[in-house]
Structure 1
């Protein structure tokens, strides 16, 4: 029997009692202070005070709640902040202080949005984790208040944090007064006759709100517990606590809470210990599964409600999820161990593998927004799932293989900081417990990770090759076709177009000769073959593949499916490269119209808006172009997890439009914004080099020649790194052309000649690449440019 949550339980939140002077002190400082430190002993009510203050006094701001108890390291904290802000993680940003700059820049760019960031329970990051973690956390807080005028920060901790900044407000929260303690006790235990023991109970509670709530609930729910007995229990706990010199003074109160956990029945105590294995919040169904109860109704009434009544659990009425009170988690970790831990881990793996697969499957659908919201809530639990790969047994390894194979995009795009370690763990367990096919599936996931996230294309290709070698031993399969398709795309990105065509045709032939489950691979292969042939200038071939993909998608997915819109956009790119701008605009608009009317993934919609805007700009309608680009920015700003690369793309296109209109100041601003984002994502990606070249070109047009030279040299310093990943890219050539023109304008003859010689060498390199990869169209352009440069150098020599 399934029982609705509203029927299951109607809970009245405990009234907030006392603390009026504390609230007024914070409120008085709010308008002229930027960062607030709320300090005090454990369980004194710091978090609850902040919650009450924000609900009473703060409106029209975005509140980011970050409980640092959930995060074991900086990488986890960084990933969570990116999720909360709706941005992608930089793969290796957590390895230095780049992650701080990434977060700060994002907050700075949120025009019109005001934030309050609450860093709750920060003591471990200051005392336990590491000195480096402490310094990075403090650096983040400091940089936010120094550079983000739209952000205020609240820190709660048992350990004081000291900032010299005048805008820092430090406040020590004292325990509740005796009067307020007595009022709170009576509110939670109405009808209890305390008699002569009330003052003793209040005194022994030390003014700690959670302890008072637990005392009251114990008296209310346990008929055998009288006020007299409660006084005796508290006296015993206090004596034990005060004699335990192993704990710092501020930590000794944990023993008092331990005694309340001990007073739970064995059944409830063991359930609580098992629930603590879930690091974040959880719903009733997850609770049912982790403690292995038959029905959800049973777990609600037999487990959750009694724990809620005793204030051991919190309940979030908005999400209908539960969590263990913070200090009780500390007690559980310090004093108790999970019985049959391998079995609990197995249940955990099963539960959250299903959660992760479900979320992942919905990210590319009309349920995208709901899936992202769920992912944000589940993030601590899913991150633990990835890290639990190190505990895998033969009975559980298949869960992790499933995550790696079915959730590749989710891991790569939103959990990349843990991705490489996770995939390495999956490879190890596949070697231990799996078969060749398991290892091959992991190679496909790693191939995608290196190809699409890290842009380490050779490593990506190596993994695809390993997958192909393994799957070919077993004959034709969907996985083999997938590996060939992935390798073909990888080769395309490397500019190895002839190889890419051969591999993609293999994937296509395999898909065409197989069942309906191969249809999507066939369509991907057709799209990729179309793109590759456009690069080669083989427009007749490209047209055949692109229209074949369009026809197939309409047949399989319907005429208005978002991927039909993506096909139309690709056809627009084909006609643009061919020089038929009228047809290009026609197909761009048709694709954009479909994407607008359907639940299209944000990145795909933004790509169409950018392409169409660029086309309008080149045909002289910059007003229409800017309207489309502003529409794209509005869409991205609304997204919880909007892709940062898409922001960079739109800023870059806005730069081109403004450059076309000779609005150089606006163009510079847009190109700089695109550059900042691309630098955050990866300085080894070709788009970063592209942005440097675009910025240098604007500085040349502005006659800021010194800046142009500086930016150009920065671009040339990463030239070789980018060429290893994508040898066909033309941006070094464009950079050297810009630099040569500047030196000529400056009359620097030696530098001009030197740059022309470097440009000639770059053109020779590109000629070799285009010949090797069969790119006849670009080969012709390079050779024409080589002839011009050769003539210039010869004229100078005379």
Structure 2
């Protein structure tokens, strides 16, 4: 460059460039009368007259009062003291950074520093000017201004003209010959980097001439080489060209640009179906900026370029292009198709319009996942194609293949297969065999045959596609092969060979990841792998895969709604398997929303609704479950038409029956049963027409409409496990065991063994048998559930096993083996904490551990556990009232053991309040009242005891009905007697004693009916203590003690005698026989 533009040139200077120039060259200017400058002298230096030029320089050096300065891109071949050289390099990144920091030392953000250096292109003056702006402006503002207004920012009028960038570059360009100036302006139409062939094509000159022009630009540093074969115009020079120079023949240059880069894009797309896929992706990234301009240039298309753009829209980038994988390019693509449609209408080319509509529909289906909007485009195209019935060409086949895929993507398999068959016929007529289009059609047919249950048709097609693709590509290491492996997984999943399906799904995913396949293809494979892992009970790995999928999609929030829905569905299934029904409901609700956005009539939505309803039923949200299923039934008709063997409608009726049963809506239950039975009959007829009698028999076994009364048929479609649990949770054990027993019977008849539902029912039965005192029935069930769960899950490290260990603790606590109970409770708590079980599950285990520790007199540890429990619940102030009540109960018991009766009474009072809020008829409330009364008695608050006990006695009848062996009522009478005695209420004391005596009678009769004579004797001994205490109270009140023997003792002794006589009599009879 001419050094006269350096502001420090005038006067005596010493130029030193440490770090990046070595050796340092010193130049001193004295007061010369004349300075001669030869600018851009490289042409002369490289010419044959170079020797003459050197001689001229030597002659000039001998002149007095004269100095000569030569700028050139090549070294002058002169070795003497008269001619010295100074090699001026552009600044490297490190030196640019040092220079920028010297001006702005506070700048530390490396990313922002790199952005400024890049925009200043290693020019020292530009860096100094940009650095000078920082401080007056924020760094981000400076970067923005340099990005959008670089010339103006670096050429501000507040700087002296010799310090402005623009005049320097403008003067340089003005000195170019006019012909070169025009060619450089034409070349600037390419917005990104380019190679030599592309430059030659856009320049439009003869090849040799164009090569010379490009070389001249390179020699003059107008363009630079950014890689082995890529060139680019300097950024600031581009800015100047756009600002000051116009392309003379813009139409011609634009046409050359469009033809050049559309041909390149076509080549890239062809390579994507071959072994050169990776090279194609690299090339696409290099040309990305140029292709963006190509798509926007459609608005300027003329007759000369019209067919270029129609060809792009109809074949090259029609829906399957790898270029449409980000939100930015997707939006450009949609605008491109909109503009192509306008041009087709403008040029009155009807068949071209159909071609563009087909490509447009395919993009909406494959990229956005908006199948409904896409279907509208396909129908418009079909209306046009119908006017040309005899035109059976490539574009008809392409239309049918694209439309068929759209229909199948919505679950309309019958229509999809019909349309795809027509595409296949046309392709065969055209002699296709290894072409991409026919292979895509065959693959689509195979997928939809398999999805619709016709694997006998889908399998041979799938294998043939794999064979032909391998022949064309020549290697398995290609995204297309990855997709085929995924489809092989679908095939084996339909055949219920889950291990084989998992193998193919994993292989497909691995290939796609290795070959940098499009993001949607990878997501589909991840979803399938995760789903099959759930079938193999590998839940944690499945969830990890799904979460990775969501991370991949963070950068493209508006695309691939169909794929997003698949991931959410799989996540929901995983949570259901793990018993996390709240999280499952949230995931499945989002999955339904995503699928309804993209394809509101997709048949698979009803299956999602069934899964959503299952999670709602588990949460006892019966009304909501019923509403969601009724909304889903709008798809029944389309589901029956397109997928006649689909069982989702029958499944939906089962879930609806469960909801209505829980809500006790008998009329709705009957109507739903009738509708469900009709659906079963329809399915039976379908399988009869298909001659599939095995499937027919399976349905008949489920329905068994002739063998069972109506109520049992309803029971076969509806498990009442949730209602049974609800009853048991309220302490209504008799009713709970009756309902659960019926559910268990139905589940066994349906052939269930390891299914989640039957295991939940068995667990509920075991719990309520144990709580109601029937340990002989509860224990074997509990052990069987543990055995089956371990078989299904394959490890102890799971929240469900944690809950089972907790229930084992309940069993041993009922057996009064408190050490064993504590051991199991601790184990359950540890498993739940390790596996991040739901907070409620952890709290229940913590409460049980604390309670068992109190039995073992380890009070301090118990209290610490409870306090930790309250801390965990601080983030859920309005939830888990029942769990909070349990913790307060245990806290009260702990304070009682420490004789801290005041704190105990406060804890019990809170426990009663919380339990009454959530379940006012819970039988366990009376047990809490007894404990509360005990703490009040210790503090001599007798009147309060009487008031609280009498309030609690409202539950007596419910307790007798649901837990007939429960002794809580007796304990309550004992506490009431103590309070009345302390208050010297003789009459009330006698009444309470009589009521208590009647309760003892009742318990004795219950145990006699159960033939549990050990317990009967325990109750008799307890009664003797109860009566002895009553007599003590009367004595202290100075009253006469009754002399009569209590009738209960006589009856009890008489009953025992009768039993013994009967036993002896039976023995004698046996001997006689």
TM-score class, shorter-chain normalisation, is 0.5 to 0.7
CA distance in 2, matches of 1:742, 1:391: 61
Counterpart in the other structure of 1:576: 493
CA distance in 1, matches of 2:151, 2:301: 35
Deviation of 1:385 (Å):
1.0
Instruction: After superposition, give the CA deviation of every residue in 1:159-214 in whole Å (9 maximum; x if it has no partner).
Output: 7xxxxxxxxxxxxxxxxxxxxxxxxxxxxxxxxxxxxxxxxxxxxxxxx9xxxxxx
SS at match of 1:724: coil
Runs (5+) with no aligned partner, structure 1: 1-9, 52-117, 129-155, 160-207, 209-240, 593-606, 611-628, 745-751
Deviation of 1:729 (Å):
3.5
Deviation of 1:565 (Å):
8.2
Counterpart in the other structure of 1:165: none
Equivalenced residues, count: 560
CA distance in 2, matches of 1:561, 1:651: 18
In structure 1, which of residues 343, 347, 371 is the aligned counterpart of residue 252 of structure 2?
A: 343
Alignment of 1:418-457 (within 5 A): 418-433=332-347, 435-457=349-371
Instruction: After superposition, give the CA deviation of every residue in 1:653-689 in whole Å (9 maximum; x if it has no partner).
Output: 5655775676766554433332344563547723323
Alignment of 1:540-619 (within 5 A): 540-543=456-459, 545-546=461-462, 570-580=487-497, 584=500, 609-610=507-508
Pair 1:486–1:121, CA change in 2 (3 A): farther
In structure 2, which of residues 633, 639, 653 is the aligned counterpart of residue 786 of structure 1?
A: 653
Counterpart in the other structure of 1:689: 565
CA distance in 1, matches of 2:568, 2:160: 54
CA distance in 2, matches of 1:380, 1:786: 55
SS at match of 1:279: coil
CA distance in 1, matches of 2:468, 2:112: 59
Q: Greater CA deviation, 551-560 or 391-400? A: 551-560
Q: Greater CA deviation, 369-378 or 705-714? A: 705-714
Over the aligned positions, Cα root-mean-square deviation in angstroms equals 4.4
Instruction: After superposition, give the CA deviation of every residue in 1:522-568 in whole Å (9 maximum; x if it has no partner).
Output: 44333323322222223333346445656776898889897788667
Pair 1:48–1:382, CA change in 2 (3 A): farther
Pair 1:294–1:518, CA change in 2 (3 A): same
- Contact 2:183–2:203 (CA<8 Å) still a contact in 1? yes
In structure 1, which of residues 291, 304, 307 is the aligned counterpart of residue 217 of structure 2?
A: 307
CA distance in 1, matches of 2:404, 2:338: 24
Pair 1:25–1:364, CA change in 2 (3 A): same
Counterpart in the other structure of 2:445: 529
- Contact 2:116–2:143 (CA<8 Å) still a contact in 1? no
CA distance in 1, matches of 2:531, 2:572: 13
SS at match of 2:112: strand
Alignment of 1:316-327 (within 5 A): 316=226, 318-327=227-236
CA distance in 1, matches of 2:324, 2:405: 17
Pair 1:126–1:342, CA change in 2 (3 A): closer
CA distance in 2, matches of 1:678, 1:39: 27
Counterpart in the other structure of 2:644: 776
Pair 1:11–1:514, CA change in 2 (3 A): farther
Counterpart in the other structure of 1:73: none
Pair 1:119–1:660, CA change in 2 (3 A): farther
Alignment of 1:8-27 (within 5 A): 15-16=89-90, 23-24=97-98
CA distance in 1, matches of 2:172, 2:345: 46
In structure 1, which of residues 710, 727, 746 is the aligned counterpart of residue 603 of structure 2?
A: 727
Alignment of 1:666-681 (within 5 A): 667-678=542-553, 680-681=556-557
In structure 2, which of residues 613, 630, 634 is the aligned counterpart of residue 761 of structure 1?
A: 630
SS at match of 1:393: coil
Instruction: After superposition, give the CA deviation of every residue in 1:692-736 in whole Å (9 maximum; x if it has no partner).
Output: 343345455666565455445544555643551623335532542
SS at match of 2:604: coil
In structure 1, which of residues 498, 510, 521 is the aligned counterpart of residue 414 of structure 2?
A: 498
CA distance in 2, matches of 1:22, 1:504: 61
CA distance in 2, matches of 1:524, 1:421: 26
Pair 1:49–1:655, CA change in 2 (3 A): farther
Pair 1:475–1:723, CA change in 2 (3 A): closer
CA distance in 2, matches of 1:26, 1:122: 13
Alignment of 1:739-750 (within 5 A): 739-744=615-620
Counterpart in the other structure of 1:366: 275
Counterpart in the other structure of 2:180: 268
CA distance in 1, matches of 2:364, 2:93: 53
Deviation of 1:288 (Å):
1.7
- Contact 2:542–2:574 (CA<8 Å) still a contact in 1? yes
The answer to whether the aligner puts 1:285 opposite 2:197 as a matched pair is yes
CA distance in 2, matches of 1:39, 1:488: 48
- Contact 1:468–1:480 (CA<8 Å) still a contact in 2? no
Pair 1:539–1:716, CA change in 2 (3 A): closer
Counterpart in the other structure of 1:36: 112
Instruction: After superposition, give the CA deviation of every residue in 1:733-772 in whole Å (9 maximum; x if it has no partner).
Output: 254234224413xxxxxxx211331354256345433212
Alignment of 1:126-205 (within 5 A): none
Pair 1:341–1:481, CA change in 2 (3 A): same
Q: Greater CA deviation, 378-387 or 762-771? A: 762-771
Counterpart in the other structure of 1:144: none
Pair 1:722–1:561, CA change in 2 (3 A): closer
Pair 1:271–1:16, CA change in 2 (3 A): closer
CA distance in 2, matches of 1:20, 1:548: 58
Pair 1:658–1:467, CA change in 2 (3 A): closer
Runs (5+) with no aligned partner, structure 2: 1-72, 76-86, 128-138, 667-1073
In structure 1, which of residues 391, 407, 416 is the aligned counterpart of residue 316 of structure 2?
A: 407
CA distance in 2, matches of 1:21, 1:551: 57
Instruction: After superposition, give the CA deviation of every residue in 1:367-393 in whole Å (9 maximum; x if it has no partner).
Output: 111122122111111111111111111
Instruction: After superposition, give the CA deviation of every residue in 1:63-110 in whole Å (9 maximum; x if it has no partner).
Output: xxxxxxxxxxxxxxxxxxxxxxxxxxxxxxxxxxxxxxxxxxxxxxxx
Larger radius of gyration: 2
SS at match of 2:232: strand
- Contact 1:40–1:158 (CA<8 Å) still a contact in 2? no
SS at match of 2:224: strand
CA distance in 1, matches of 2:568, 2:494: 23
CA distance in 2, matches of 1:464, 1:18: 55
